């Protein structure tokens, strides 16, 4: 049961990026939260206020007014999984199994991120074609066989399912109809069932209405992300 | 008593930290070294086609396995008492320190992806001059006592120690923890204290370096002949 004496802030840029999954988790769990958007132009002023010089930052506010801060996406996601009831039942080991799933999907996401900063359209195009044809399906093949029911962990939606959904949305952004979940639908029936169920519920509603702020866009013909019309320098 | 098997290659790599945690905590564990020649057949028996994999054998005879080094390390830290406290927030704070170091390790891996040794050298020299000191600056600021979280060793401290070993292996006396030691007094003290104790014992007696070595003139890791 989500504690309503707690409220959360997600501090990040006005884009999905590394805040997408934390926002999705808070949204799906019905936890009171707000986005605090960081103006990218002012980043150098706020960077040093972050424990490790990076965002996202999660602020947890208690009803007595006290606040605590948590950094690093991985730590934020694992923390929210536990406190929002989005971890599988079974204590430390069960939480670790969920963490292994999210960690492996983050590994895949990191491979994609390394492509973003490649300097030419040709290089980015070639790298993304390899992701679509090989890398993503290879990772997803292992996940397909891990699913133990309607969701990764049986009947209960957990952070593992939401991470999968976040990745699905990312692939939709970049690859549209060539999203490997779709082109390999026959091979990934368990994974697509999870996606379809989530899309029909609160996670889908979050993704359609609160995930995209209109500033970060994928430019398909250039195989790159642009923020307010300018190419990103991956840092 | 719970016993553990850590399945990984004959190398430090992504197995080192888990071995350090098990050894430091005095857990009953053994290394199952995967030879390169056997990896083809073993790969698909693992949850994600990767190692390390931790096999946990409970006293009642049941076994379970866990993959992904980040998940293995956080799990071992929790069950072996190497976290600041039992609450989710405390465990998450320790994970945030470790996660920032994992990010640094990724940057160092990227520095070795250039196709020529010149490119790799340039990337690593930038890491030495800028990236590593920047990451360490934030870490130094975070430390809240004799150790990261006060008086008690946690896996945040052990991660720092493992990073120090890696930087030493890669850069020798050029490791920023040495060249800029005056900038990082708290981190330096943690590393020295751990080196003088059980973590140092692990390094001297149980740490596996195996076949993966840093080739300093090539600025990358490779398999020793």
Walk me through the domains of chain A, giving residue ranges and CATH numbers.
7-84 (3.40.30.10), 91-212 (1.20.1050.10)
Q: Residue B221 above 70 pLDDT?
A: yes
Give the CATH number of the domain where residue B147 resides: 1.20.1050.10
* Chain B residues closer than 8 Å to A143 by CB: 48
Instruction: Judge whether B88 is closer than 8 Å to chain A, CB to CB.
Output: yes
Phi-psi map region of B180: left, alpha, beta (phi>0 left; psi -120 to 50 alpha):
alpha
Is the same domain home to B52 and B102?
no
pLDDT digits (tens, 9 = 90+) for A179-194: 999 999 999 999 999 9
Chain A: give the shortest CA distance to residue B92, in Å.
5
Q: Residue A63 above 90 pLDDT?
A: no
Is the same domain home to B68 and B160?
no
Give the DSSP per-residue string, A166-207.
Answer: HHHHHHHHHHGGG-HHHHTTTT-HHHHHHHHHHHTSHHHHHH
Expressed as residue numbers, the domain containing B136 is 88-205
The answer to whether position B220 is within a domain reads no
Out of B31, B55, B79, a domain closes at B79
Cα–Cα nearest to A77, from A159, A15, A194: A159
A148 or A132: which carries more pLDDT confidence?
A132
Whole-model pTM?
A: 0.97
Q: Residue A207 above 80 pLDDT?
A: yes
Cα–Cα nearest to A194, from A135, A144, A122: A144
* Chain A residues closer than 8 Å to B102 by CB: 74
- The Cα angle at residue B7 between residues B3 and B10, in degrees rounded to 5: 125
Q: Residue B107 above 60 pLDDT?
A: yes
Q: Is the dihedral of CA A147, A149, A153, A159 positive or negative?
A: positive
Chain A: give the shortest CA distance to residue B110, in Å.
9
Distance CA A72, CA B159 (A): 15
The answer to whether position B182 is within a domain reads yes
Number of H helices, E strands in chain A: 10, 7
Chain A: give the shortest CA distance to residue B98, in Å.
9
Mean pLDDT of chain B: 97
Chain B: give the shortest CA distance to residue A178, in Å.
23
> Chains A, B: CB contacts under 8 A, how many?
98
Cα–Cα nearest to A124, from A226, A23, A52: A226
Is the same domain home to B101 and B69?
no
Note whether A96 contacts B74, CB cutoff 8 Å: yes
The pLDDT assigned to B100 comes to: 98
- Using 50, 70 and 90 to split pLDDT, how confident is the model at A4? low
* Residue B208 CB coordination number (10 Å): 18
Instruction: Report DSSP state, residue A49.
Output: G
pLDDT digits (tens, 9 = 90+) for B28-62: 999 999 999 999 999 999 999 999 999 999 999 99
Do the Cβ atoms of B156 and B144 come closer than 8 Å?
no
The answer to whether position B187 is within a domain reads yes
Phi, psi of A36 (to 5 degrees): -115, 110
Distance CA B54, CA B34 (A): 13
CA within 13 Å, CB half, B62: 2
Is the same domain home to B92 and B200?
yes
- Using 50, 70 and 90 to split pLDDT, how confident is the model at B224? confident
Cα B188 to chain center, whole Å?
Answer: 17
Is the same domain home to B26 and B104?
no
Note whether B67 contacts A100, CB cutoff 8 Å: yes
A23 exposure class (CB count in 10 Å sphere: 0-12, 13-18, 19+): buried
Out of B79, B99, B122, a domain closes at B79
Instruction: Judge whether A158 is closer than 8 Å to chain B, CB to CB.
Output: no
A147 to chain B: closest CA residue: B47
Do the Cβ atoms of A193 and A153 come closer than 8 Å?
no
Instruction: Judge whether B55 is closer than 8 Å to chain A, CB to CB.
Output: no
The answer to whether position B110 is within a domain reads yes
Out of B31, B57, B79, a domain closes at B79
Question: Side by side, which strands form the sheet with A230-231?
Answer: A216-219, A224-227, A230-231
Phi-psi map region of B50: left, alpha, beta (phi>0 left; psi -120 to 50 alpha):
beta
The answer to whether position B225 is within a domain reads no
The pLDDT assigned to A3 comes to: 60
Terminal alpha carbon distance of chain B: 39
* Chain B residues closer than 8 Å to A138 by CB: 49
Is the same domain home to B28 and B98?
no
Is the same domain home to B105 and B133?
yes
The answer to whether position B142 is within a domain reads yes
pLDDT digits (tens, 9 = 90+) for B72-100: 999 999 999 999 999 999 999 999 999 99
The residue count of chain B comes to 225
The answer to whether position B146 is within a domain reads yes
Portion of chain A with pLDDT greater than 90, in percent: 91
Is the same domain home to B150 and B200?
yes
* Chain B residues closer than 8 Å to A97 by CB: 66, 71
Is the same domain home to B48 and B115?
no
Give mean pLDDT, residues A199-227: 97
Per residue, what are the HEC states of A77-99? Answer: HHHHHHHCCCCCCCHHHHHHHHH
Is the same domain home to B62 and B98?
no
* Residue A209 CB coordination number (10 Å): 9
Q: Residue A110 above 80 pLDDT?
A: yes
Give the CATH number of the domain where residue B25 resides: 3.40.30.10
The answer to whether position B222 is within a domain reads no
Is the same domain home to B36 and B117?
no
The pLDDT assigned to A2 comes to: 62
Terminal alpha carbon distance of chain A: 38
Do the Cβ atoms of A32 and A62 come closer than 8 Å?
no
Cα torsion for B162, B78, A100, B147, to the nearest 10°? -30
The pLDDT assigned to A49 comes to: 98
Give mean pLDDT, residues A50-79: 96
Q: Which residues contact B135 (CB under 8 A, 6 or more apart)?
A: A52, B100, B101, B103, B104, B107
* Chain B residues closer than 8 Å to A87 by CB: none
The pLDDT assigned to A235 comes to: 45
Instruction: Judge whether B80 is closer than 8 Å to chain A, CB to CB.
Output: no
Q: Is the dihedral of CA A80, A85, A88, A90 positive or negative?
A: positive
Best residue in A75, A123, A152 for a mutation probing chain B (most B CBs within 10 Å): A75
The total number of structural domains in chain B stands at: 2
Is the same domain home to B63 and B102?
no
Distance CA B198, CA B176 (A): 24
């Amino acid at each position: 049961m989500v504690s309503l004496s707690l409220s959360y802030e997600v501090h990040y840029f006005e884009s999905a990026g590394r805040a997408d999954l934390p926002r999705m988790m808070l949204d799906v769990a019905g936890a009171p939260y707000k986005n605090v958007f960081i103006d990218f132009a002012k980043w150098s002023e706020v960077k040093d206020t972050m424990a490790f010089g990076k965002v996202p930052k999660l602020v947890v506010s208690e009803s007595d007014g006290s606040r605590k801060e948590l950094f690093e996406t991985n730590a934020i996601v694992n923390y929210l999984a536990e406190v929002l009831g989005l971890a599988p039942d079974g204590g430390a080991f069960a939480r670790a199994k969920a963490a292994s799933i999210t960690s492996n999907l983050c590994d895949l996401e990191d491979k994609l991120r390394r492509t973003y900063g490649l300097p030419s359209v040709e290089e980015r195009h070639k790298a993304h074609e390899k992701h679509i044809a090989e890398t993503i399906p290879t990772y997803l093949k292992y996940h397909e066989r891990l699913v133990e029911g309607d969701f990764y962990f049986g009947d209960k939606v957990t952070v593992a399912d939401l991470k999968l959904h976040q990745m699905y949305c990312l692939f939709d952004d970049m690859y549209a109809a060539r999203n490997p979940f779709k082109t390999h639908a026959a091979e990934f029936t368990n994974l697509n069932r999870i996606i379809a169920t989530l899309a029909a519920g609160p996670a889908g509603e979050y993704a359609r209405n609160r995930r995209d702020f209109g500033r970060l866009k994928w430019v398909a013909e250039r195989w790159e992300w642009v923020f307010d019309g300018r190419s990103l320098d991956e840092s | 008593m719970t016993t553990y098997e850590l399945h990984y290659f004959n190398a430090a790599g992504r197995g080192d930290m888990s071995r350090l945690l098990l050894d430091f905590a005095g857990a009953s564990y053994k290394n199952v070294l995967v030879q390169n020649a056997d990896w083809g057949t073993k790969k698909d028996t693992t949850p994600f086609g990767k190692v390390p994999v931790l096999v946990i054998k409970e006293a009642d005879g049941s076994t379970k396995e866990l993959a992904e080094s980040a998940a293995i390390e956080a799990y071992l830290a929790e069950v072996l008492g190497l976290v600041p406290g039992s609450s989710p927030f405390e465990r998450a704070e320790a994970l945030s320190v470790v996660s920032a170091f994992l990010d640094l390790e990724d940057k160092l891996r990227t520095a070795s992806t250039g196709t020529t040794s010149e490119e790799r050298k340039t990337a690593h020299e930038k890491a030495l001059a800028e990236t590593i000191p920047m990451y360490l600056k934030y870490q130094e600021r975070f430390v809240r006592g004799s150790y990261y979280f006060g008086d008690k060793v946690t896996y945040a401290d052990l991660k720092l120690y493992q990073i120090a070993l890696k930087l030493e292996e890669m850069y020798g006396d050029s490791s920023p923890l040495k060249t800029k030691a005056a900038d990082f007094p708290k981190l330096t003290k943690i590393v020295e204290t751990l080196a003088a104790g059980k973590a140092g014992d692990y390094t001297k007696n149980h740490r596996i370096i195996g076949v993966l070595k840093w080739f300093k003139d090539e600025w990358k890791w490779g398999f020793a002949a």
